[in-house]
Amino acid sequence: MSDSVRNSQKRIKLFLPGPVEVLPEILEAQTGWMIGHRMPEALELIGRIKPKLQQVFLTEQRVLFQSGTGSGFWEAAIRCAVDKKVLHCTSGAFSEKWVKVTDAVGKDHDVLEFEWGQPVLPEPIIEKLKTGEYDALAVVHNETSTGVTNPIQDIAAAVRSLPNGQDIMILVDSVSGLSGAELRFDDWDLDMAFCSSQKAFAMPPGLAMCAVSERVMEKAKTLKGRGYYWDIVTLAKSYDTDQTPNTTPLPMLYALDVQLDRMLEEGIANRFARHIAQRDYVIAEGNKRGFELYGHPDYSSPCVTNFANTLDIDISALNKFLRTKEMILSNGYGAKLKNKAFRISHMGDIYESDLAELFAAIDEFLGEGASG
């Protein structure tokens, strides 16, 4: 049944920064028989997944998960970790969207704006945090709209070196980074770091995962208005008994179980290195054809490359052409970057051979001699 449904669809190789390519074996893993989510088999499944997730997040603390997407943990982070005021750092579309969530939740906040395409750097953050006004910092690890990865390790080290550094919750959106761009939850002493399954985890959309520190768990217990579905205290209570508070998203967990095995077999350090190598390959191939990076070259994302449309090509026409080759890439994000930039995702289960196929197709579109 699943085969016939899938076979009736055309497969289009996704060079989009989510949803990304998903391997057939991961899709197949989802089709396991249903079980009751309080049956021992479900508890065993969660018990098996937990330590593997910890290895990928590089933490010995909890990695919570919930059916839904990463945006849920945007809200959870604000509701469960902020009491006084949160400092948001913005440098692209997603960091700006997170501010809207904080607005919607009604928590006090300030915004420290960095130019789109530039990295979020520690110094101005520290100047703001020194005022003692804030008890949380919200920062995006991998800004999917600009293709820039922010130096979370340096930011976190600078925050912790402040006299009040331990009282500031470091909340990291690594929605399109985690497992592709290096993130070391315990070593970097973070409080929340979350991601979505449809990004570097290379799974279908539908599962959000979030590492939480003991520090944030203790703080959350003292806060009112944590909400219901994304309350980390509720999620942690169930997690500790190998369960979920609501019905377990079993197909997602079947897929996660298999995908985590694949990730650990590759080795997390090797996985980070592969993503960097793929980024370097994409940048070099793009540069050869005359495309320049949109963002700061020293902070290029290992997961997605954002090229400025320096050749002034018709990106919609390029994608129309790529569709005939059963591929698609991503136009620039939003009104600000549409047709001015385009993105090639190289995260998860996209490999250099796939990227080579993409560049060969781009060459066909550009015409002979355009490949430099």
How far is residue 39's CA from residue 315's CA, in Å, rounded to a whole number? 50
Query: 61: helix, coil or strand?
Result: coil
Stretch that binds ligand PLP, among 1-9, 115-123, 170-178, 258-266 (CB under 6 A): 170-178
Q: Does 254 bind ligand PLP (CB under 6 A)?
A: no
What does the DSSP 8-state code read for residue 91? S
CB of 367 to ligand PLP, least distance (A): 33
Among 96, 173, 182, 191, the residue binding ligand PLP under the rule CB under 6 A is 173
Nearer to ligand PLP, 67 or 71 (CB): 71
Q: Does 69 bind ligand PLP (CB under 6 A)?
A: yes
Stretch that binds ligand PLP, among 68-76, 109-117, 270-278, 282-290 (CB under 6 A): 68-76
Nearer to ligand PLP, 17 or 286 (CB): 17
Residue type, 287: N
How far is residue 16's CA from residue 252's CA, in Å, rounded to a whole number? 20
Residue type, 65: F
Q: Does 71 bind ligand PLP (CB under 6 A)?
A: yes
Q: Does 251 bind ligand PLP (CB under 6 A)?
A: no
CB of 370 to ligand PLP, least distance (A): 30
Footprint of ligand PLP on residues 16-45 (CB under 6 A)?
18
CB of 356 to ligand PLP, least distance (A): 25
Q: Does 176 bind ligand PLP (CB under 6 A)?
A: yes
Q: Does 87 bind ligand PLP (CB under 6 A)?
A: no
How far is residue 94's CA from residue 330's CA, in Å, rounded to a whole number? 16
At 174, list the tokens: 């690594």
Stretch that binds ligand PLP, among 67-75, 234-242, 288-296, 322-330 (CB under 6 A): 67-75
Q: Does 175 bind ligand PLP (CB under 6 A)?
A: yes
Q: Does 15 bind ligand PLP (CB under 6 A)?
A: no
Sequential DSSP letters for 333-371: SHHHHBTTEEEEE--SS--HHHHHHHHHHHHHHH-TTTT
CB of 252 to ligand PLP, least distance (A): 13
How far is residue 360's CA from residue 363's CA, in Å, rounded to a whole number? 5
CB of 93 to ligand PLP, least distance (A): 8
Long-range CB contact pairs, 190-194, < 8 A, 24+: 190/152, 190/156, 191/81, 191/215, 191/216, 192/73, 192/76, 192/77, 192/81, 192/216, 192/232, 193/57, 193/141, 194/70, 194/73, 194/76, 194/77
> Taking Cα atoms as reference points, which of 19, 78, 347, 56 lies closest to residue 183?
56
Positive or negative: CA dihedral 138, 140, 145, 148: positive
Burial grade of 272 (CB within 10 A; 0-12, 13-18, 19 or more): middle
CB of 74 to ligand PLP, least distance (A): 7
Pairing state between β 86-90 and 192-196: unpaired
How far is residue 218's CA from residue 360's CA, in Å, rounded to a whole number? 53
Stretch that binds ligand PLP, among 39-47, 56-64, 66-74, 120-128 (CB under 6 A): 66-74
Virtual CA dihedral for 216, 220, 226, 231, nearest 10 degrees? 60
Nearer to ligand PLP, 181 or 358 (CB): 181
Stretch that binds ligand PLP, among 115-123, 162-170, 171-179, 285-293 (CB under 6 A): 171-179
Q: Does 348 bind ligand PLP (CB under 6 A)?
A: no
Among 15, 29, 62, 70, the residue binding ligand PLP under the rule CB under 6 A is 70
Among 91, 196, 213, 300, the residue binding ligand PLP under the rule CB under 6 A is 196
Q: Does 144 bind ligand PLP (CB under 6 A)?
A: yes
Residue type, 63: V
Q: Does 201 bind ligand PLP (CB under 6 A)?
A: no
Are 255 and 272 a contacting pair, CB within 8 Å? no
CB of 51 to ligand PLP, least distance (A): 24
| Binding residues vs ligand PLP (CB under 6 A) | 18, 69-71, 94, 140, 144, 173, 175-176, 196
